[in-house]
Homo-oligomer: A and B are copies of this chain.
Amino acid sequence: MYLSKLFVPITKDLPSEAKIKSHQLMLRTGMIKQSSAGIYSWLPLGFKVMKKIEKIVREEQNIIGAQEMLMPTIQSSEIWKESGRYEDYGEEMLRIKDRQGREMLYGPTNEEQITDIFRTSVKSYKSLPQILYHIQWKFRDEIRPRFGVMRCREFYMKDAYSFDLSDKDAKNSYNKIFYSYIKTFNRLGLKAIPMSADTGPIGGDLSHEFVILAETGESQIYADKKIFEIDLNKYDFSETSLQKMRDDFSSIYAVTDEKYKEKDFNDKVKKENQVKTKGIEVGHIFYFGDKYSKPLDCLIDTKDGKKVTVKMGSYGIGISRLVGATIEANFVNNVMKWPKSISPYDVVIIPSINKNNTENLEKAEKIYSELKKQNIDVLLDDVDENMSNKFKKHDLIGIPYQIIVGSKSEEDKFEFKELNSNSEILSLDKIKTKLKK
């Protein structure tokens, strides 16, 4: 893609309500545009990043055998009345009357709806265990939406739901998701800590939130850095191995300020391993047994002819929120560097252009075609602007690799730079190899 053709309205004027750096960066680089309070359009640059995150989340859900489906955004109030949450949910639920006067709502979450689908579809123990998920827009009518996509009203979320015959099986499903979440965040280039959590309005007695480290995060985190050294490859998908994995994570100290006690921290964590920082919640998982299946009467026939209420859990990853959270974690000293796996482009070519000399631009175009042939997704900055402005701009856009075509480039060697590192003079072949790693 040529930057002059890309729909990326870069702006220098920031609205006063953009207080955190991800919000500022996303507006400045034209990743999003607000349409009303807490509601955003995703412009091509932001959209690409979000889609890459979505793809990784999807792949990791599929690996553990979860099946993708899609529930609608607009739900009937009926099932919420059955579960008893219609009144409880309060004003955060966007309530709607359709033209026939029926009470509808924009789904803030889908426990009721998936239970309704399941109860009419599955009757026999033979169809269990089952994990279903969807990636769909949700709406929560926050009283004070803020922080850009981090706390908006219309947001994009992956939510999965597990169905099992017994508590024991259900905890195995929970552990599978736990495993896939750690793996997902690793692939997104994020350091995520699973933390035992309260269940809140979703209910249940077992819950973890996944928190990534970011100095600007909303909650204070105290942890033992050994938690990052756990190697997921040690575990297989057997029930005992997955339980061992969760136990291993749980055995290492990691709490938010709510549960923090200075003495505990110092007793349990060696000084040099103590991590004190802030964190952002990017995932939350719940096991709640029959909290929804009981009022909604979701019964399964067991092997010995009895009927039991199915045991359920729910598991969310905030996909639109992750775009902002990744920026909070990676935008340091005025330089944003996207993790390679979710960068909007693999590499940007930055030629030094002036009106009287098109040589650099022509060279850049040749490199561009070469890289395209190798299926490398490349952006060419063909805008007529001085190099210092270009570099500032690309410090924000955050593509991790740059090929600079200017004074330092030789016949067939070019300046290659990884953001936050020194540049090297390399042949195009060497550059290709580096990019393909």
A354 CB within 8 Å of chain B: no
Asked if A39 and B141 make an inter-chain contact with CB atoms under 8 angstroms apart, the answer reads no
Asked if A137 and B42 make an inter-chain contact with CB atoms under 8 angstroms apart, the answer reads no
Residues of chain B within 8 A (CB-CB) of A113 are 35, 41
A30 CB within 8 Å of chain B: yes
Residues of chain B within 8 A (CB-CB) of A122 are 7, 9
- One of A62-70, A207-215, A254-262 at the interface: A62-70
A14 CB within 8 Å of chain B: no
A324 to chain B, nearest CB (A): 15
A166 to chain B, nearest CB (A): 19
Residues of chain B within 8 A (CB-CB) of A153 are 74, 98
Query: Given A7-B132, A98-B94, is A35 in contact with B76 using a C-beta cutoff of 8 Å?
Result: yes
Enumerate A73-126 residues with CB–CB distance to B below 8 Å: 73-76, 78, 91-92, 94, 96, 98-100, 102, 104, 106, 113, 116-117, 120-122, 126
Smallest CB-CB separation from A71: which chain B residue?
B41
Asked if A116 and B35 make an inter-chain contact with CB atoms under 8 angstroms apart, the answer reads yes
**Which of B37, B41, B72, B92 sits near A117, CB closer than 8 Å?**
B41
In the complex, the count of this chain's copies comes to 2
Residues of chain B within 8 A (CB-CB) of A99 are 91-92, 94, 141, 143
Enumerate A6-59 residues with CB–CB distance to B below 8 Å: 6-7, 9, 30, 33, 35-37, 39-44, 47, 50
A139 CB within 8 Å of chain B: yes
Residues of chain B within 8 A (CB-CB) of A73 are 73, 137, 154
Smallest CB-CB separation from A9: which chain B residue?
B121
Asked if B117 and A33 make an inter-chain contact with CB atoms under 8 angstroms apart, the answer reads yes
Q: In the assembly, what is the distance between CA of A36 and CA of B43, in Å?
A: 32
Residues of chain B within 8 A (CB-CB) of A386 are none
Query: Given A35-B76, A74-B106, A113-B35, is A121 in contact with B7 using a C-beta cutoff of 8 Å?
Result: yes
Asked if A72 and B7 make an inter-chain contact with CB atoms under 8 angstroms apart, the answer reads no
Smallest CB-CB separation from A7: which chain B residue?
B67
Residues of chain B within 8 A (CB-CB) of A75 are 35-36
A interface list, Cβ under 8 A from B: 4-7, 9, 30, 33, 35-37, 39-44, 47, 50, 65, 67-76, 78, 91-92, 94, 96, 98-100, 102, 104, 106, 113, 116-117, 120-122, 126-127, 130, 132, 137, 139, 141, 143, 153-154
A/B interface sample: 5 pairs, CB < 8 A: A4-B126, A7-B69, A43-B121, A44-B132, A47-B69
Besides A42-B70, A99-B143, 12 more A-B contacts (Cβ < 8 Å) are: A4-B127, A5-B65, A9-B120, A35-B116, A36-B74, A41-B69, A43-B117, A44-B67, A50-B70, A74-B94, A92-B99, A96-B106
